[in-house]
Amino acid sequence: MAGNTQETYSTTIFDDVFRTMLERMPSLFIPLINEVFGTGYPLDAETIQLKNEHVTGSSKRITDSYMEVSSIGIEDGRYHIECQSSPDGNIIVRMVEYDFFIALENHSAKGGILEMEFPKSCVLYLRHNASTREKESLRIKFPDGQDVLYTVPIIRVQEYGMEEIFRKKLFVLLPYYIMRYEKMFQEIDGDKDKTDRMLREYAQILDRLDEFLAREHLYSIYSYLLDYISQIAGYMLRNTEYLKERVGDFMGGKILTTRTDEILNKGMEQGRNIEKSDTVLRLHKQNLPISIIAAGVGMDEDAVRKIIGK
């Protein structure tokens, strides 16, 4: 994208953006977990990113996401979410393998019997077709006759339109929103009217997103999401000309005028003029992530956590 995304794109950009969102904005995954598993966690539920690299013997598996969510009055849960660009006939085999490793590493003894608990898991398909199911299942038959059906729900991302995304706060899906236009890129490219219509939809999305996050004092999330939306759009539009330029100019302009920059600049100025601990607490009350607070006041994240904890 113009002024923001390089011309050379990683073939793993979908996974890279997904994992980076989890690292920087774990709260965005809470509405997704609520949608898939019927939980009712609030946006400020506590999230802990758990180990996502699992090694057994000579085998190593790295999951896209593995996190624990907890909130008062709601049962704690551990959740494993994989992001796939397209339907994959072998995903259910990989999922049971990932979940087995996770469960094996967290086994415990209860009543003299070792117990393994699988995480709650799901798969996001960024693309899907008519044959893509709502869930994938694998039947496990044990030698003693036990028969267990392992099932993983599927989220078909392109089925979620703008209204549903905002109603359910599924903002984590917005970077992939442009993929719903993928089959029409060549038709839209070079057509000013069709390009304008697409950009008007994006303008509406970003205005609504800005309004919601400002109301919730989640300014930094807006900046991050703009960047990820731009990265994915740049990759998806790499083979177009007019469309790529128009979208790049539009997204580049939005990125340059985010509220987050203003907030961070204020935080940095405050950090120079008053005690850093006061600045940390003030920014924390605005629900800024620890990584952003640390950058704003020039401290490491552990030091920021200690101030907040006190």
Is residue 228, in this structure, part of any structural domain at all?
no
The residue from 101, 136, 158 where one domain ends is 158
| Segment 30-40, tens digit of pLDDT | 999 999 999 99
Say yes or no: 146 and 265 in one domain. no
* Residue of 205, 157, 159, 169 lying closest to 34 (CA atoms): 169
Is residue 200, in this structure, part of any structural domain at all?
no
User: Which pLDDT belongs to residue 7?
Assistant: 43
The count of structural domains within the chain is 2
- % the chain with pLDDT above 70: 85
User: Which pLDDT belongs to residue 4?
Assistant: 44
Does residue 102 register a pLDDT over 90?
Answer: no
Does residue 288 register a pLDDT over 80?
Answer: no
pLDDT band of residue 307 (cuts 50, 70, 90) is confident
Is residue 98, in this structure, part of any structural domain at all?
yes
- Estimate the crossing angle of helix 13-24 against helix 219-236, to 10 degrees: 180
| Segment 41-73, tens digit of pLDDT | 998 899 998 876 655 555 566 677 889 999 998
Say yes or no: 153 and 20 in one domain. yes
Is residue 198, in this structure, part of any structural domain at all?
no
- Estimate the crossing angle of helix 259-273 against helix 290-297, to 10 degrees: 50
Is residue 138, in this structure, part of any structural domain at all?
yes
Residue 217: count of CB within 10 angstroms of its CB: 12
pLDDT band of residue 223 (cuts 50, 70, 90) is confident
pLDDT band of residue 228 (cuts 50, 70, 90) is very high
Is residue 57, in this structure, part of any structural domain at all?
yes
Say yes or no: 267 and 144 in one domain. no
The residue from 140, 158, 176 where one domain ends is 158
| Segment 162-177, tens digit of pLDDT | 999 999 999 999 999 9
| Segment 175-201, tens digit of pLDDT | 999 999 999 999 999 899 999 999 999
Say yes or no: 153 and 266 in one domain. no
Is residue 291, in this structure, part of any structural domain at all?
yes
Say yes or no: 148 and 266 in one domain. no
User: Which pLDDT belongs to residue 126?
Assistant: 95
What domain range includes position 285? 261-309
Residue 245: count of CB within 10 angstroms of its CB: 15
Does residue 83 register a pLDDT over 80?
Answer: yes
Given a contact cutoff of 8 angstroms between Cβ atoms, the answer to whether 14 and 232 are in contact is: yes
Given a contact cutoff of 8 angstroms between Cβ atoms, the answer to whether 137 and 151 are in contact is: yes
Is residue 165, in this structure, part of any structural domain at all?
no
- % the chain with pLDDT above 90: 50
Tokens 């400002």 belong to which residue? Answer: 214
Tokens 């996050």 belong to which residue? Answer: 213
Return d(Cα 66, Cα 69) in angstroms, integer: 10
Say yes or no: 18 and 130 in one domain. yes
The residue from 130, 158, 186 where one domain ends is 158
User: Could you give phi then psi for residue 161, rounded to 5 degrees?
Assistant: -85, 180
Rg (CA), the chain: 22
Tokens 């008062």 belong to which residue? Answer: 72
Say yes or no: 20 and 152 in one domain. yes
